[in-house]
Structure 1
């Protein structure tokens, strides 16, 4: 493999090529036989310079792929995700590696979507179905996919993207809730940096037992602003728990059918809420939410 690819791409192979290629790999080798220089402007100056067609989206040429990928240029320019351009080029102009095309890993897709999906939703657009992260597999034994190499910061003119350091689980055992009239906006930004997850939810129901109270949110009515260390499966159930002690105002703030900004952390397999802010349409609140995209914690 060329040295530049070794620096920039983490390639996980299902089976050793010495032991024989999988049926899928042999099929791909038959279909993707010819490498060609990358000419799509958005995909130039990446860690690879050769591609092959048809791509994962069934485009037959770079001209066809280039015309479609150009619609994402505004998102790439605002840098809502450092992985967006890399992921898009994996899909529209995949690197030609020994006449194979290897799909992106699930993590690469999720990191590209993270941040950009929120921005798209804000303007009435949704993440394209053809780029759904459900189509990709998580890196691991028996999986052939490509992810970012996040250990070398010298692979390009700008530093390679790195995963945000996951904050430690806090020792404070109290969940705090804030009504719209008691929100201090600087506190939102401070709590954002401490949390493993930050999202807007619509509360569906509250269930209590002798041991605990759980909060069920609508999985279709959510916006995710941060999810350090959380995988897609962690958010599937949209079931949240309070800390051991909840501040008295939480009983008044958390009501089914209403929207909230919730922050918290993952404790084993549980999503534990550390703070809740009543969702408001005030100008200051909306400006604070917009700061999440560029917030340097």
Structure 2
């Protein structure tokens, strides 16, 4: 049976055994020491500027990590794109799962997340990611992780299948704060940005649909072609049953951020346009010079409760 992380670490320390031992020889991923890296694995402190992996049950991590990142700079760069998913709190074990890969505990041999841990986080978080046009990445396919009968990091949140959030929860596309830094981060994750008025269309297949007015101002065109802009319809995935406070008043224009995925335009974030808002003006002025984190898999909006 899988064991909690703290129990695994204690058992390994008392037994004097390498993490994984014989049980981990059948994992799909080879240990970093087997991948031909220029230097052997080492133990380093988890840096304070790695926000994804703060407050863990351990303070030192193995480098290279289990995703093949060989330097702390690379770890921090690649991990930054996952922080918004963590703030969405889609599953209680999201941090545990991601940090077991980005900042694995430092033992003689790598210890991987159990397959059930991956499956629980994927079941809860993949629908949220897909709402913004980001599929669950191949590098996190759950079949690549060891079965729970082996020594691995087990789920800690109690159930691998968490209860769905209440229907009254604000749609994730509408969880936005009018702060310049947050706006620019969301602009980094968006293919296009425009100012427009909106009208609601009939919901379709659990999706909310919004039509942009004929008169619109493209602030970031991205992959949008002329046919896209001529009759621009935005899709809000999994949003038919959740409220969006911004859409209560359609008389004023909006700042719209989105992505093009599968031939459709997905709404990523929605702001009420405020002419005198300094934060919005600052974000729009510096949107192209802001140092964006890696594109995958940035998600818009902090959790607001």
Would you say same fold, with TM above 0.5? no
TM range, smaller chain: 0.3 to 0.5
Q: Which has the higher contact order (CA 8 A, sep 6+)?
A: 2
Tell me the TM-score normalized by structure 2. 0.44
Tell me the TM-score normalized by structure 1. 0.45
